[in-house]
Amino acid sequence: MKRFKTWTLLGLALLAAITAQARSLDEVRKEGKIIIATEGQFAPFNYFQGAKLSGFEVELAELVAKKMGVSVEWKALGFDALLAGLRQDRWDLVIASHGITEERSRAVTFADPHYCSGGSIVSLDPAIRTTADLNGKVISVQTGSTYMDNVRKLAGVKDVKNFPQDTDARSALVSRRVDAWVTDKFVASIAIAANPGAGMKLGDFVFIERIAAAVGKGNASLAQGYNKALADVLADGSYSALSKRYFNEDVRCK
């Protein structure tokens, strides 16, 4: 009986996953609310200020949603769960600094990029600045990130240690458990400025990437509605103002 129940539940979950229909732009508009998931552990892009979700991407998504004529219901989850949840229709959109990759594009539909950046080397040792300097070194990265994928591809790296949160990858560097941390360039600069005593130094890019929000695979209407609203925000000066407030520069893709 117990076995039967388990299988029934599994079957139902599978059916729900297969039949789940991503909500179209019209459906989202009709409800007046878009459900957006992010991580909340990737300052300054998405992080908690006390109990409040904040950051460049959080504020940007609020601006975009406003142009779309809807309010935002936020969900904060582990980085790993975000794109997977889109496939199960647990939220409408994810904005969490995902780089557009071929592999991810097979599973989700990316919107237009909202900033351009890249994975940069951070180290306590001024002699570790370039990808060549990573030879024979131990590197920390966030699990499931493009930093992990790209550092793993480097020949000569001794070991890649991955951590569920980027902040833990940073701690591993600060406590000298690794030789370098690879993370987003802006995340790195802001972490360095916020912890002057830690002695972290910013090195070269390992790779560059275009960062975008994602919707369920094939949810073209929602992607288009979001893209149009993003284009408005990019054109009307509000993106610029927001970006300068966080980074002292405009971080849009050029």
Region for residue 132 given its phi and psi (left: phi exceeds 0; alpha: psi -120 to 50; beta: otherwise): alpha
The answer to the question of residue 99 lying near ligand ARG (CB under 6 A) is yes
Q: Name the one range near ligand ARG by CB under 6 A: 25-33, 38-46, 170-178, 233-241.
A: 38-46
In this chain, which stretch among 19-27, 91-99, 218-226, 239-247 interacts with ligand ARG, using CB under 6 A? 91-99
Q: In terms of CB distance, is 25 or 91 closer to ligand ARG? A: 91
Tell the smallest beta-carbon distance from residue 99 to ligand ARG (Å).
3
Query: With binding defined as CB under 6 A, does residue 184 bind ligand ARG?
Result: yes
Tell whether residue 181 is a contact of ligand ARG (CB under 6 A): no
> Rg for the chain (alpha carbons), in Å?
20
Of 145 and 225, nearer to ligand ARG (C-beta) is 145
Output the smallest distance, CB 105 to ligand ARG, in A: 12
Q: Binding ligand ARG by CB under 6 A: which of 37, 44, 46, 203?
A: 46
Q: What amino acid occupies position 172?
A: A
Q: Is 96 in the site for ligand ARG (CB under 6 A)?
A: yes
Binding site for ligand ARG (CB under 6 A): 39, 42, 46, 79, 96-99, 142, 145-146, 166, 184
